[in-house]
Amino acid sequence: MFAIKANRQYKITEDEKQKYIDQGYKIATIVKGKLVFEKVETPESKEIAKLKAEIKRLEGELKKAKGEGK
């Protein structure tokens, strides 16, 4: 398991994982010779998901409004 941030890469254990996540590192493992990053839920990723849902809702309203204008 690896902790990666910018140009730094550290080999870590499962016990150290949360410490590195809290410091902003991405966690990855090697699968078939390639790094595979774990999906970590952060406050930023929660906000991004919320905003994407809002965009989708607003796009639906816009399409509806354009349809009524014809």
14-60 residue pLDDT tens: 999 999 988 989 999 999 999 899 887 778 888 999 999 999 999 99
What residue segments make up the domains of the chain, in order of their start? Answer: 1-39, 41-70
> Three-state DSSP class for 24?
coil
pTM for this model (two decimals): 0.56
Residues 6+ apart with CB under 8 A from 12: 1, 2, 3, 20, 27
Residue entry with tokens 């410091």: 23
Instruction: Give the pLDDT score at 43.
Output: 80
Instruction: Give the pLDDT score at 9.
Output: 92
